[in-house]
Amino acid sequence: MDLRSVQLPSGTFTIGKRFHFEAGHRLPGLPPEHKCAQQHGHSYEIELVLTAPTLEKPGFVTDFGALAPFKEFLDAELDHHNLHEILPFEPTSERLAQFLAGWFIQNVQPTIPGRLVAVLVRETARSWARFDVEGQ
């Protein structure tokens, strides 16, 4: 088979990259008997999803290395902290995903070709929250 004969369809390119940090939190807005009202911790997994209609040389939506400032932010500001003590909102996974999307759009996105589509926050292997960015 001549591989050059394969027709490339039109469409959008999407990439994802996962990051990790450890943090504690509690949700003081819940009733005291709710388990999440008590101090507890998670091994958070954050996934950024980016898109672009065309690729930058040599064929990237965004070079994964260009996302390093996001990891540096997670390590410096969130890793091994109590999130309810440092964030200006009750640190549910949903709100954390929205906050991380806002930080990324403000601090990293202006320097890269790809655009943020979504942020996923996983507290456990079986539970996650996703914030989808509008208008990107």
pLDDT digits (tens, 9 = 90+) for 14-42: 999 999 999 999 898 899 899 988 999 99
How far is it, in rounded angstroms, from Cα 74 to Cα 79?
Answer: 6
Q: What is the pLDDT of residue 1?
A: 82
CATH homologous superfamily for the domain 11-132: 6-pyruvoyl tetrahydropterin synthase/QueD (3.30.479.10)
The burial of 36, by beta-carbon neighbours within 10 Å (0-12 exposed, 13-18 middle, 19 or more buried), is given as: middle
Taking 80 as the threshold, does the pLDDT of residue 117 lie above it?
Answer: yes
Q: Which residues are catalytic?
A: 36, 80, 123
Give the HSE-up count for residue 41: Cα atoms under 13 Å, Cβ half-sphere.
10
Taking 90 as the threshold, does the pLDDT of residue 107 lie above it?
Answer: yes
State the CB neighbour count (10 A cutoff) for residue 55.
Answer: 13
The burial of 45, by beta-carbon neighbours within 10 Å (0-12 exposed, 13-18 middle, 19 or more buried), is given as: middle
For residues 6, 7, 10, 16, the Cα torsion angle rounded to the nearest 10 degrees is 0
Q: What is the mean pLDDT of the chain?
A: 95
What are the domain boundaries of the chain? 11-132
- Mean pLDDT for the stretch of residues 74-79: 98
Q: What is the pLDDT of residue 135?
A: 80
Confidence of residue 136 (pLDDT cuts 50, 70, 90): low
Instruction: Answer whether 0.95 is exceeded by the pTM.
Output: no
